[in-house]
């Protein structure tokens, strides 16, 4: 399949893959958050909103097989076998954590490549995923605290998450530049 699935097709794909209902609920919330973020990005920045929505819905399809760090890679392999576009496959592969650099990927048993979100769409979905704890929406601060509790306060993923947060805030602030007299952390409110 060379084109993106529709929302309904993406949800059906999740269910057919065997994702539990909790993963489907989480994915629906991630899609809602990702769509909100994408709608707030500076209109001068090109964002494929269909890719954002479908990518958010399918980002955890690998959880039909495993809930460990390899679920992004496995999800990408599932979508690749279904012949979905490479941009969707990459988004699913690169959403784990706040991205995983090559050296860390090797230590984790992942392919020796950067698993880092690089496109706007990949970054939006990766970030939105961190603002969804299960089917509950959380602030950026709570997401960061959860990372620290899970990985340790000195883990490099915390710095990557902070950088991702700053980048998303900058993308959204570009849309409202001049509308507010002072800088406000809008991303933590999404």
In a domain, 72, yes or no: yes
**What is the pLDDT at residue 127?**
98
In a domain? residue 184? no
pLDDT below 70 — which residues of the chain? 1-2, 175-190
Q: Name the residue range of residue 67's domain.
A: 7-176
Could you tell me the two tokens for 73?
A: 């890679």
pLDDT of residue 19: 97
**pTM (2 d.p.):** 0.89
Residue 78 included in any domain: yes
Would 183 be classed as within a structural domain?
no
Per-residue pLDDT reduced to its tens digit, 156-168: 999 999 999 999 9
Q: With contact defined as beta carbons under 8 Å apart, do 156 and 170 qualify?
A: no
Nearest to 22 by CA among 54, 73, 64: 64
Q: How many CA atoms lie within 13 A of 155 on its CB side?
A: 19
Instruction: Indicate whether 120 belongs to any domain.
Output: yes
Supply the pLDDT for residue 178.
40
When divided into structural domains, the chain yields a total of: 1
CATH of the domain at 88: 1.10.3210
CA distance 68 to 42: 35
Please say whether the beta carbons of 62 and 78 come within 8 A: yes
Residue 188 falls inside a structural domain? no
Kindly report, residue by residue over 56-80, the tens digit of the pLDDT.
999 999 999 999 999 999 999 999 9
């Amino acid at each position: 399949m060379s084109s993106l699935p529709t929302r309904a097709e993406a949800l059906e794909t999740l269910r057919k893959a065997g994702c539990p209902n909790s993963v489907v609920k989480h994915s629906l919330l991630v899609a809602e958050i990702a769509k909100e973020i994408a709608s707030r990005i500076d209109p001068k920045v090109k964002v494929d909103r269909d890719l954002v929505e479908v990518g958010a819905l399918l980002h955890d399809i690998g959880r039909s097989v495993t809930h460990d760090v390899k679920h992004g890679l496995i999800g990408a392999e599932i979508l690749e076998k279904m012949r979905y576009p490479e941009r969707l496959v990459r988004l699913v592969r690169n959403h784990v954590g706040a991205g995983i650099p090559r050296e860390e990927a090797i230590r984790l048993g992942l392919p020796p490549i950067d698993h880092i979100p690089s496109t706007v769409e990949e970054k939006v979905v990766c970030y939105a995923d961190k603002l969804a704890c299960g089917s509950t929406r959380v602030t950026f601060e709570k997401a960061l605290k959860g990372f620290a509790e899970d990985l340790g306060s000195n883990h490099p993923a915390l710095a990557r998450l902070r950088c991702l947060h700053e980048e998303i805030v900058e993308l959204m602030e570009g849309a409202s530049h001049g509308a507010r007299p002072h800088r406000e952390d809008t991303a933590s409110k999404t």
